[in-house]
Amino acid sequence: MTGQRPRAIIVGIGTECSSFAPHRTTLADFGIRTGDRVLERFPAVPSGHVREVDFVPGPVARALPGGPVLRAAYDALLQQVLDAVRAGAPWDGVLLDIHGAMLVEGMSDVEADLARRVREAAGGAEVVMAAAMDLHGQVSREFVRCVELPTCYRTAPHVDEPETRDRAARLLARALTSGVRPARAWCRIPVALPGEKTSTRVEPAASLYRSLADPPEGVWESALWVGYAWADEARTSAAAVVVGEDACAIQRECGRVAEQFVASRDDFAFCGPTGSLPWALDAAEAAPDGPFFISDTGDNPTAGGSGDVATTLDALVADQRVTEGAGDAVWSALVDPGGVQAARQIGVGGAFDEEVGGCFGWPARARLTGVVDRLADDCSGEVAVIRLGRLQVVLTSRRRPFHTVGDYARVGVDLARTRLVINKIGYLEPELEEVSRGWVMALTEGPVDQRIGDLRFEHVGHPLHPFDPLDHGWRADVEVFDAAQ
């Protein structure tokens, strides 16, 4: 640096992909932020709280989790990112704003490829790179060799997203203004856990993540990734990365985090009452009032489900406790553009009788016979609500989650007047948790089936809990990297 303020560019391509989802993520599925819309993701940056560095927004692309990304889509987005980086190169720093669990057809360890290509375009070995990630991201050795300052959320559900991005910006600013290139310690933690067993609202994840907040002397940042269990690739696992100036301190802290995680592996349990769908429906029937929530966990679109799995619907339409129960029930949602079009042609009040489900290729379909109750159209696409007695079935033209009271209100469902809500979701998002009068999780089939031990993995590295036994008294094998490699 020559006395000028250091410059850093923010770029990223981020999503989370299940190997088991028939859906493919296309270029059209990505939203691309630029300019102020990137900076608003980093509250401390535009408000001047990270004053020492000029952060320049480049393109940041993000898509809803789903199936693997088409290679042509990744190539097109990468080109856009590299063009922006090259246009202002050389940079002092790069801040990657990414999720970290992207799959691209025909590639492995995509984020390591992205980081290497961006570093090359930004100016090579001299550039300092940071990354703000989701704790469900994957962190391979190759990624950490390239990125000096990776960090991730400390909460799931993720209520600390802006703070995490700001923390990454501050770490980068610290490195750029002090001239110190911190070392980082990395450890693959040989454990794969579904997200619903690692909520930080409950133990042992609560204590593990709390222990990162106050790192020992010589440590800048202590970060722990749970990883993403539904990706069938070599890097799939939890991981710890600890960054700082003191090589011994970071190695020790990284080992501590990894060993504590492994020692707790059998204590991770579903973060709520969990069982089969029939069991969940029994629990709903016994509940005194609503709304009672059942998470239909196997096809949760925000965890990588395709949204086209109709297995639960098949069970609901056959259950008179649901279709003729004491109050209204709603199932959300099935992506079925054909079903939505059919409902629009039939019109409100008309009889609907269609096979639905499997629009991306999931084999289970269901016969849906009812009445077109409502049609809606908003920025997330078209919606048709089909009614069978007390059950309302939400069909959507595009993949979309139902995470808030407003998401339901926009399709004409008043949760306060609904007795039973069956939702393709995992743990309840905060707003739904607030209105729920009871909640259970149903273990259902789909691309993000929580019973990962039953799924067919072919490419993961071993050993990996729960597929392999780990040695009693497992000790962390920590690697330390200094300059960018």
Q: Could you give the string, one character per residue 463-482, with x where binding to Zn ion holds by CB under 5 A and - elsewhere?
A: --------------------
The number of residues making up the chain comes to 485
Nearer to Zn ion, 134 or 445 (CB): 134
Please tell me the distance from the alpha carbon of residue 318 to that of residue 430, in angstroms, as a whole number.
Answer: 31
Per-residue interface string for the shown chain with Zn ion, residues 105-144, x marking contact by CB under 5 A: -----------------------------x-x--------
Q: Which is nearer to Zn ion, 16 or 29 (CB)?
A: 16
Report the amino acid identity of residue 208.
L
Shortest reach from residue 153's CB to Zn ion, in Å: 7
Distance in Å, CB of 212 to Zn ion, minimum = 16
Q: What angle do CA 252, 253, 256 make, to 5 degrees?
A: 90
CA 207 – CA 285 distance, rounded (Å): 35
CB distance 263 to 410 below 8 Å: no
Smallest distance from the beta carbon of 134 to Zn ion, in angstroms?
A: 4
Q: How far is the CB of 105 from Zn ion (least distance, A)?
A: 22
Give the residue closest to Zn ion by C-beta. 136
**Helix or strand (DSSP H, E) at 63:** strand 54-63
The least distance separating Zn ion from the CB of residue 158, rounded to whole angstroms, comes to 6
Farthest-apart Cα atoms in the chain, separation: 75
Q: Which is nearer to Zn ion, 92 or 134 (CB)?
A: 134
**Minimum distance from residue 209 beta carbon to Zn ion (Å):** 13
Q: Which is nearer to Zn ion, 19 or 251 (CB)?
A: 19
Considering beta carbons, is residue 244 or 426 the nearer one to Zn ion? 426
Residue 136 C-beta: closest distance to Zn ion, Å: 4
Q: Which is nearer to Zn ion, 228 or 352 (CB)?
A: 228
Of 37, 173, 19, the C-alpha closest to 95 is 173
**Residues within window 62-91 making contact with Zn ion, judged by CB under 5 A:** none
In the complex with Zn ion, the residue whose CB is nearer, 134 or 449, is 134
Phi, psi of 311 (to 5 degrees): -60, -45
Token pair listed for 377: 């159209």
Angle, to 10 degrees, between the axis of helix 110-122 and the axis of helix 71-88? 20
Closer to Zn ion by Cβ: residue 13 or 342: 13
> In this structure, are residues 336 and 308 in contact, taking their beta carbons and an 8 Å threshold?
yes
- Residue 172's nearest CA partner among 215, 129, 139 is 129
To Zn ion, the closest distance from the beta carbon of 311 in angstroms equals 24
Rounded to a whole number of angstroms, the minimum distance from the CB of residue 241 to Zn ion is: 17
The nearest distance, CB 341 to Zn ion, in angstroms, is 33
Neighbours of 10 (CB within 10 A): 28
Alpha-carbon distance of 122 to 58, in angstroms, equals 12
Residue type, 20: F
| Total of residues contacting Zn ion (CB under 5 A) | 2
* Interface pattern 346-385 for Zn ion (x via CB under 5 A): ----------------------------------------
145 lines the binding site for Zn ion (CB under 5 A):
no
Q: What is the β-pairing status of strands 238-244 and 219-225?
A: antiparallel
b/e code 270-298 from CB counts within 10 Å (16+ = b): bbbebeebeebbebbeebeebbbbbbbbb
- Is residue 428 helix, strand or coil? coil
Q: Which is nearer to Zn ion, 228 or 293 (CB)?
A: 228
The 10 Å Cβ neighbour count of residue 211 is 15
**Does the N-terminal peptide bond of residue 301 adopt cis geometry, omega within 30 degrees of 0?**
no
- What is the torsional sign of CA 211, 262, 452, 240? positive
Residue 5 DSSP label: P
Quick one: 136 or 154, whose CB is closer to Zn ion?
136
Find the shortest distance in angstroms from Cβ 157 to Zn ion: 8
Q: Which is nearer to Zn ion, 29 or 134 (CB)?
A: 134
Q: Which residues bind Zn ion (CB under 5 A)?
A: 134, 136
